[in-house]
Amino acid sequence: MDKRFLRNVGVISALLVFPLLCAPSLLAQQSQPDSTETKRTGWTGYPFLFYTPETKTGGGGAINYFFREAGSAPSARPSTLVPVFVYTQKQQISSSLICDVYWEQEKNHLFSTVSYSDWPNQFYGIGNNTPDEEEDFTQRMVTLDLRYLRQLQRGLYAGFQYQFHKSKLTEVEAGGRLARGNILGTETGTASGVGILVNWDTRDNIFYASSGSYYLLSARVFHDRLISDFDFTNYQV
């Protein structure tokens, strides 16, 4: 049976199960639509269960904990902490901690993500003429994404950012293209870069905005002086 078909079945199964498990939390939020504008603190849990051929049965959960700075208005943007953990039958792991913090009446904004994963993936080749069959591999990754923004005027923020990414292929298909080791990135590699960013954010609510706009301009430079194995520049709009 085609591997892509099996993978799609696994993904669809996960998507079907996840809403059922989260339904009670979602219904509770809908019954109190203004809760995130009036509560100082609160949290929501999201358990999930899935199956894919690469992972077998897997499960985990995420917790969204929000809080507001002491003395801030009830309608002030909440800070959030979101830990996520996933574990599979084949002892694969994916975990992360996402922090989104506002302070000093929203004049300062710090966003960070720390993650670790030992997870299966697929290599589809390079270029336009690639083989029909992809290669399976397992990659171990550690990632840190740090962004600090200072408010210049209402809705306009500017600041700096740092990103660290280290990866290693822990399992590849014998005799495959990745096993030969002549493709950039197949060895242990580190990417480390700094940059600047400008953000325009006038959303009325960071969870479910009904008005306002959001734009982000980002530029990062990765260089060996920053302990990076790769030299490149990354732009995002």
Q: Which pTM value belongs to this model?
A: 0.76
What was the pLDDT predicted at 132?
65
61 and 152 housed in the same domain:
no
pLDDT digits (tens, 9 = 90+) for 127-138: 776 666 678 888
How far is Cα 4 from Cα 166, in angstroms, rounded to an integer? 28
State which residues form the domain around 154. 107-237
117 and 39 housed in the same domain:
no
**For residue 28, is it within any domain?**
yes
Q: What is the mean pLDDT of residues 182-210?
A: 88
Distances (CA, A) of 236 to 79, 132, 187: 24, 31, 27
How far is Cα 36 from Cα 204, in angstroms, rounded to an integer? 12
76 and 139 housed in the same domain:
no
**For residue 73, is it within any domain?**
yes
What was the pLDDT predicted at 64?
94
State the distance between the two ends of the chain, measured CA to CA, in whole angstroms: 41
128 and 233 housed in the same domain:
yes
The two tokens of residue 212 are 């306002």
DSSP character at residue 53: T
**For residue 75, is it within any domain?**
yes
147 and 83 housed in the same domain:
no
**For residue 229, is it within any domain?**
yes
80 and 111 housed in the same domain:
no
For the chain, give me the number of helices (H) and strands (E)? 3, 10
pLDDT digits (tens, 9 = 90+) for 158-190: 999 999 999 988 887 777 777 777 677 677 889
80 and 150 housed in the same domain:
no
Q: What is the mean pLDDT of residues 181-209?
A: 87
How far is Cα 115 from Cα 5, in angstroms, rounded to an integer? 29
134 and 39 housed in the same domain:
no
**For residue 97, is it within any domain?**
no
Number of domains in the chain: 2
142 and 47 housed in the same domain:
no
pLDDT digits (tens, 9 = 90+) for 31-61: 344 444 467 889 999 999 999 888 899 999 9
Token pair 């639509």 is found at: 33
121 and 225 housed in the same domain:
yes
Please answer whether residues 186 and 170 qualify as being in contact, where contact means their C-beta atoms are separated by less than 8 angstroms: no
